[in-house]
Structure 1
Amino acid sequence: MNHKIDTILFDLDGTLINTIDLIVASFEHTLDHYFPGKYGREEIATFIGPPLSETFGRLNPGYTEEMIGMYRKFNHANHDDLVSEYEGVQETLDELYDAGYHMAVVTSKRRDTAVKGLQLMNMEKYFPVIVSLDEVTKPKPDPQPLYTALDQLGRKAGQALMVGDSEHDILAGKNAGTKAAGVAWSIKGKEHLESYSPDIMLHSMPELLNYIKTPNVK
């Protein structure tokens, strides 16, 4: 089916690169300091998606910046050891790039950390536009980050697809007027994402190629 999609916006963590072990370990390190033994992996999974300021601000008002600092120090120190690639992502990005699709990363993490992950996975060349927490005032699920990316790419929402591992990505796509794709390898679980009615659920990244199927869109 041809959806006339010529633009793909990707979330980064848990979608393009496997940072789940790093994120969970960073949360565990921080939360165990402030709330020893209180939060396990299952609860931590529910914290993934929103900006750290939102999560820590809700859990421990008054210590938000301190907790963010502890999280980021651990995260940066352990980044390269705990980040890995998802099977089929690089090959899919290669095909999309060669076919002339317009691509951007839209993430709720800081720009320096996002760039660090893209550099580690040799994915920089695919993404002339990176919209991070540093470029917006309203993170996903608000449409502002997607609008920012589309504006920088010079593309329209009606011909774009947002791909992500969180309900924030799916809702942001719906709010911005793009198509929305969930990824079944999300730590939150396929069923959780399906409850937000994405246009497609990807079980592997190469399935994206079959969904958009618009060759030579340059």
Structure 2
Amino acid sequence: MHSSLQNIRLVAFDLDGTLIDSVPDLAAAVDAMLVERGLPAVGEAKVRDWVGNGSHTLVERALASVLGQTADASVVEASHDSFLRYYHAAPCERTRLFPGVVEALDALASRQMIVTLITNKPVAFIDPILETLGLRHYFSMALGGDSLSEKKPHPAPLLHLAAHFDIDPSQCLMVGDSRHDVEAGKRAGFRTLAVPYGYNHGEPVSSSGPDGVVESLGELV
């Protein structure tokens, strides 16, 4: 057993950038939204640096990039609706699992760990993606960015899970790819584990001070 799992009863995973590489599908929806508004597409590389704070912020960042300034609230809202429409039509066409994910989830299941999901992605997209990738059965509960009044890096979603399963936060582990995951975990009193391959706005996630870093989730086997 990996040292990060010692005395842990509940593991909470981030989704995008931790379990799945969803940027290809997110970028396709962002570009479709921009083109619909008569704006230039931005491409996958830029979107990769904007993911992690929820769909609304993703759209705000895309608009600011092409407009050269912060977009009006009404433009952001209309663009966000457009983005959601395009993403809903194809949320998992090119999205792929990162190496070691299934092996790690199988290992946790065999140890009877409670496995949960906390993502800032809108909740409506969680089940379709998990079902398509064959992951849904691993998770006892999944929270999206709009499931509660607060989202990561606020600790509320993590504390909600700990309370729901009646587990002390000190016996919970937050696994993610960004500083927001690490901050949320620390503020909730969770142990934190980070992966370096995800979406952290160009910064090394190790600089956020997680309790541990693994190159692949396969190390949890």
Shorter-chain TM band: 0.7 to 0.9
1:183 equivalent among 192, 195, 211: 195
- Give the whole-Å Cα distance in 2 for the aligned partners of 1:154 and 1:128: 13
- Give the whole-Å Cα distance in 2 for the aligned partners of 1:19 and 1:41: 10
Letter in 2 for 1:20: V
Following superposition, which runs of at least 4 residues in structure 1 exceed 4 angstroms of deviation? Answer: 32-35, 38-42
- Give the whole-Å Cα distance in 2 for the aligned partners of 1:38 and 1:109: 22
Match of 1:199 in 2: 211
Q: CA deviation at 1:192?
A: 2.4
Which digits, 9 at most, give the CA deviation of each residue in 1:152-200, with x for residues without a partner? 2221210111111222111111111111122122143785212211111
- Give the whole-Å Cα distance in 2 for the aligned partners of 1:13 and 1:198: 18
Is the 8 Å Cα contact of residues 30 and 59 (structure 2) preserved in structure 1? no
Q: 1:95 to 1:194 in 2, by over 3 A?
A: same
Letter in 1 for 2:152: K
SS at structure 1 position matched to 2:52: coil
- Give the whole-Å Cα distance in 1 for the aligned partners of 2:144 and 2:220: 23
Q: CA deviation at 1:208?
A: 2.6
5+ residue gaps, structure 2? 62-69
Is the 8 Å Cα contact of residues 183 and 190 (structure 1) preserved in structure 2? no
Q: CA deviation at 1:40?
A: 5.2
Structure 1 residues 115-194: aligned runs within 5 Å:
115-188=127-200, 191-194=203-206
Letter in 1 for 2:107: E
- Give the whole-Å Cα distance in 1 for the aligned partners of 2:49 and 2:16: 14
5+ residue gaps, structure 1? 210-218
Q: CA RMSD in A?
A: 2.2
Q: 1:83 to 1:40 in 2, by over 3 A?
A: closer
Is the 8 Å Cα contact of residues 129 and 152 (structure 1) preserved in structure 2? no
Q: CA deviation at 1:41?
A: 4.2
Query: What percentage of aligned pairs have identical amino acids?
Result: 27
- Give the whole-Å Cα distance in 1 for the aligned partners of 2:12 and 2:106: 15
Is the 8 Å Cα contact of residues 8 and 161 (structure 1) preserved in structure 2? yes
- Give the whole-Å Cα distance in 1 for the aligned partners of 2:122 and 2:11: 20
- Give the whole-Å Cα distance in 2 for the aligned partners of 1:75 and 1:56: 12
Q: 1:3 to 1:95 in 2, by over 3 A?
A: closer
Is the 8 Å Cα contact of residues 131 and 148 (structure 1) preserved in structure 2? no
Match of 2:64 in 1: none
- Give the whole-Å Cα distance in 1 for the aligned partners of 2:204 and 2:215: 14
